[in-house]
Structure 1
Amino acid sequence: MFIGSQAHLIKNALDASSMRQEMISSNIANVNTPGYKAKRVEFEDVLKRTMDGSGMRGTHERHFGSDDLTSVRPEIRMQKGNRINENGNNVAIDTEMAELSANAIYYQALTTQLSNQYGTIRSVLR
């Protein structure tokens, strides 16, 4: 079902946003921890790779990878590119706060979209 697959994809995006919130909170909590490396949750890039065919595809049900958009899952990666402090930590509090705000807006947009999906279903059923 088309709407069901869209709702499932939005659910996965909401899960990624929730995971991203946890990672950002962890990064902020460890801003002064020596040697700590900031982590990022990637979902949109994984989804894009799956959509454009550059991601892994499963050719057998027991293979890893898939071209099914509903099976796209977030990935946790170490952040690269930030300046490393003298204690080996690369958390930039300004970046984390910007990511926190952006993620809140992203989450709100996803919940609105999911609500609209269910509203469409409700109107069809009436």
Structure 2
Amino acid sequence: MNIYGSTISLLERGLNFSSAKGKAISQNIANVDTPNYKAKSVSFKELLHESSTSPIKAYRTNDLHIDFNSNVSQKSGFNSSDFRYRHNGNGVDMEKEQADLAANQIYYNALVDRLNGKFNTLQNVIKGGR
């Protein structure tokens, strides 16, 4: 029996996606001056497809332990190798990366707020509405 429905699981997947996207954006910003570096990105469609076809299983020492499923894999990104924005072959557009970083942060914060609301509702139910 799932007492909180699938909403928390979906929010978790959204947070995993946002985290992976934030890592890719951070790598792009860190390598803005690296010659021949190609900007990386994370595709939600590709990430969703990978999570449904090959979940990662963890070793459990007891059957009562909660099963571990990771929906984010290391190969969920792609390179934009066709784009070069600088004469040294670098494919990072700093303005785009900063805009993407801001949008991703807003998305992440919205998911965290929604998850907090779900947990507050559960806590209120457990306390009996007090």
Q: CA deviation at 1:120?
A: 2.0
CA contact (8 A) 1:46 1:72 kept: no
Distance 1:76 1:46 in 2: 8
Q: CA deviation at 1:79?
A: 3.0
Are positions 1:26 and 2:27 aligned together? yes
| Higher Rg | 2
Distance 1:21 1:105 in 2: 11
- TM-score of the two chains, using structure 1 as the length reference: 0.70
Q: Secondary structure at the match of 1:112?
A: helix
Q: Counterpart of 1:61?
A: none
Structure number with the higher helix fraction is 1
Alpha-carbon RMSD across the aligned residues, in angstroms, is 2.8
CA contact (8 A) 1:82 1:90 kept: yes
Taking structure 1 as reference, are residues 36 and 2 closer, same or farther at Cα in structure 2, changes over 3 Å only? farther
CA contact (8 A) 2:35 2:88 kept: yes
Taking structure 1 as reference, are residues 80 and 113 closer, same or farther at Cα in structure 2, changes over 3 Å only? farther
Taking structure 1 as reference, are residues 116 and 81 closer, same or farther at Cα in structure 2, changes over 3 Å only? farther
Instruction: After TM superposition, list the pairs within 5 Å mapping 1:32-111 onto structure 2.
Output: 32-43=33-44, 45-46=45-46, 55=49, 64=53, 72-73=71-72, 75-79=76-80, 82-111=83-112
Deviations 1:53-111 (A, max 9, x none): xx58x7xxxxx358xxx975462111366444221111000001001100110110000
The runs of 5 or more residues in structure 2 that have no matched partner are 56-68
The runs of 5 or more residues in structure 1 that have no matched partner are 59-63
Distance 1:2 1:72 in 2: 21
- TM-score of the two chains, using structure 2 as the length reference: 0.68
Matched residue type, 1:40: S
Matched residue type, 1:106: Y
Distance 1:23 1:2 in 2: 34
CA contact (8 A) 2:38 2:79 kept: yes
